[in-house]
Amino acid sequence: MKSKKQFIAIDLGAESGRCVAALLHDQKITLHEVHRFTTCNVKYENGFHWDVLAIFNEIVEGLSKAQKNFGSHFDGIAVDTWGVDYVLLDADGRIIGYPYHYRDDRTDGMMVEAFKIVPKEKIYRQTGIQFAQYNTLFQLLSEKKRKLNLLDAADKFLMMPDFFNYMLCGKMKAEYTIASTTNLADPNTRNWSWELIDAFGLPKNIFPEMIEPGTNLGTLLPHLAEKTGLDSNIPIFASAGHDTASAVASIPVQESNWAFLSSGTWSLMGIELQEPLINSQSLEYNFTNEGGAEGMIRFLKNIIGLWTLQECKRYWQNNGNDFDYVQIAEKAREENHVSAWVDLNDQRFLKPGNMPEKIKTYLYETNQPVKDKIGFIAGVIFESLAFTYRKTLKEIEEITGKEIEFLHVVGGGTQNELLMQYTADACGVTVIAGPVEGTAAGNVGIQAIAAGVVPNLKSWRKIIGASFNTKIYKPVNTSYFVSSGKKYERILKQKEK
């Protein structure tokens, strides 16, 4: 790698998006955030939607800023986003309807209806994906029930990163890592599960050709090159389109007995496997087999992550308490251990709203201590997350027979030192936190490998290790989580009844 290479990563999360210019030189990478923005959504009486054109305008703005700061030439551009949501297009490439947000109510009860058509066990055998009501399959089935079924008018169905790739280069493809979140992809063939698509009566013609991460889709459209000042011959790569797949690609792993945790709005904990792991136990524990880079499988579980804290912060801010995340974490530290917990998988925590009140209501219902204090509520969230991580890690060990000693954490959650220490204490493993911008770094890595600049994922992870500082957290107070574990489990079982 003698010459400097430049890439652009467009990393879209459920709360915010960023356009990051990456400079690769002398076996090191530096990331430069040139534009950050809110990933616009619209909630009104009849639905909760993504404003994808507003988001795309922000992407174009980010490309323009990248050009102003780093010149017209880049060696690649790629997009990653959250999973499960999609855009429908007609034969002329026009958007049909406002794309739905996965937190919309339309999928309430849809899993039960789906299982009447195809048994739960059969769906899992064919896709290996954990069941959640927001999965794309259940969104599509909900659409089929509408008086005006937009699937009948659609020519193509594109997952979010595939849609933005199309907007950048004009090519409609289905990148595997993001398609694997739909509940409609086969992890063995890494293609659509046509049998399930037929069984659910979904129109086969709308599903695009499946491609692997790292595919060169084409070049930047001329009108966008003219608008942004960028060269029109810049390749548009299908990176690992699912943000977690990109994040995992950035883990500077050196150990063999490790697991990963991508910590942001969602927490995703798991391990890398060379083959899907689909059996009765993985179904019972609701684990998922999602696509990864270089043919790997991410065997993991989705956990509601810092979403609950984000919603609390939004509520507190709207009510005159404008604290940042560092201040909130400090208030939680002052409370010490709160000894009160919630089940983050409870459906009430999935939807927006007065999150502090939802947490307090759960505590009242389970006869736990309640305080109307910011530090206490934040402490409940952090400890509940740590307990959830502990439970999930034990399930991974049980299903795979592997003993995990190291937990690599990437994403924004790594900046929360209290949560990282609680995670180490609860799981009883060494936590290696960083990089913070793991998703953008992984996005760039897939591009660099595709461009022939870096030979493989192993080499890329060495570059990450040489480029970013990580922070190590050793377990220091495992006794609290061990002694409280049975009480935590009783609370969860009590609520299930």
Residue among 175, 178, 180, 177 at smallest CA distance from 193: 180
444 domain residue, yes or no: no
Q: Does residue 165 sit in the same domain as residue 264?
A: no
329 and 198 co-located in one domain = no
| Shared-domain flag, residues 260 and 208 | no
- Asked if 33 and 148 sit in the same domain, the reply is yes
Q: To 5 degrees, how large is the angle CA 488–CA 494–CA 497?
A: 145
Residues 352 and 461 in one domain: yes
Answer with the one of 224, 243, 262 that is the final residue of a domain.
Answer: 243
- Return the pLDDT at 493: 83
Residues 81 and 131 in one domain: yes
Per the annotation, the verdict on 243 as an active-site residue is yes
Domain of 98, CATH number, reads: 3.30.420.40
**Strand ranges (DSSP E) for 325-473?**
406-410, 430-433, 471-473
In the predicted model, what is the mean pLDDT of residues 164-173?
A: 98
Mean pLDDT of 391-408: 97
Domain count for the chain: 2
Q: Write the pLDDT tens digit of every residue in 279-314.
A: 999 999 999 999 999 999 999 999 989 999 999 999
The reply to whether 494 falls in a domain is yes
Q: How far apart are CA 414 and CA 305, in angstroms?
A: 12
Q: Among residues 243, 268, 293, which one ends one of the domains? A: 243
Q: Does some domain include residue 441?
A: no
Evaluate whether residue 235 is within a structural domain.
yes
Same domain, 237 and 260: no
Q: Where do the DSSP E strands lie in 13-106?
A: 16-25, 28-38, 41-44, 47-50, 77-80, 86-89
What is the pTM (predicted TM-score) of this model?
A: 0.94
Catalytic residue (choose from 104, 186, 243, 425): 243
Q: Are 102 and 134 in contact (CB under 8 A)?
A: yes
Q: Do 466 and 423 share a structural domain?
A: yes
Same domain, 344 and 213: no
Q: Give 368-378 pLDDT, tens digit per residue.
A: 999 999 999 99
Residues 195 and 238 in one domain: yes
Q: ∠483-489-493 over CA atoms, to 5°?
A: 155
Mean pLDDT of 188-196: 98
Retrieve residue 360's tokens: 């307090």
329-352: average pLDDT: 94
Token representation of residue 49: 């939607």
- The answer to whether residues 337 and 216 belong to one domain is no
Average model confidence (pLDDT) across the chain: 96
Q: Which domain holds residue 326?
A: 251-434+455-497
Arithmetic mean of pLDDT, 461-485: 96
In a domain, 443, yes or no: no
List, as one string, the DSSP characters of 207-219: SPPEE-TTEEEEE
CA-based R_g, the chain, Å? 22
Judged by DSSP in three states, 87 sits in strand
